[in-house]
Amino acid sequence: MQDTTQQDNWKQLAGEAAARLIEDGMVLGLGSGSTASYVVRYLGLRIQEGLQIVGAVPTSNATEQLARELNIPLTTLDAHPELDLAVDGADEIDPRLCLIKGGGGALLREKIVASAARRFVVVGDVTKQVLLLGVHFPLPVEIVPFALPLVRRRLEALEAIVQLRYKEDQVFVTDNGNMILDCSFPGGIREPEELQTQLKSIAGVVETGLFLNMTERAIIGGPEGVKVVMGEEL
């Protein structure tokens, strides 16, 4: 098992490298989770030192709170429907830079923000790189609570092993008032595009944690420092 302090250092390296992509005048999307929080912290530092962004759209209540504490100017998609750059973490990153996200439960706003961005950059540490999505990490699917029994049956018909997400003995509720079903697909996800289409056609599924063909580059921290993996032509 990976030493968490070491992994945290790798996350920090990646987060800070990504925050260096931010330039004066940009409108940003800020991701959620521990790696994204390093981006937010380093951005806060750069703003203290004089960087002037137009504003940032946070992808979760937690990121919004952290950004406020660091005096990062916030904005909304109402004010800025197009973002220059969004940076976020991931739970798994495959060689095509397709992702599983949503381990922290913020996948819906994360996907909206990534979709609104001209450039989407993922940050992670080497433990997030996989050859095939879904072998180790279950795919989070955000659903409307009313639809739970129906969606569960439909997912099981797609051969998913479905777990309703809990946090501290309570059903986990997303920032949008929804639930998360964590779906394991034995053998991994071989056709992510097809699976995404199937999942999105189930009434009651709001969004999935599959981020496909969106990522411009991955910034990965590891024992050798930071490496940048470019996505295919988007």
Q: What is the contact surface with ligand 5RP in residues (CB under 6 A)?
A: 31-36, 88-91, 101-107, 110
Q: How far apart are CA 151 and CA 66, in angstroms?
A: 34
- Is residue 165 a contact partner of residue 179, using CB atoms and an 8 Å limit? yes
Paired tokens of 58? 């946070």
For residues 190, 105, 14, 23, the Cα torsion angle rounded to the nearest 10 degrees is 110
CB of 38 to ligand 5RP, least distance (A): 8
Tokens of 169: 């003995």
Tell me how far, at minimum, the Cβ of 162 lies from ligand 5RP, in Å: 18
Q: What is the DSSP track for 96-107?
A: T--EE--TTS-H
Q: Are 72 and 56 in contact (CB under 8 A)?
A: yes
In the complex, least distance from residue 107 CB atom to ligand 5RP, rounded to whole angstroms: 5
- Residue type at 86 in one-letter notation: A
What H or E segment, with its residue span, contains residue 19? helix 4-19
Q: How far is the CB of 233 from ligand 5RP (least distance, A)?
A: 25
- Nearer Cβ to ligand 5RP, position 94 or 110? 110
Residue positions annotated with a catalytic role: 110
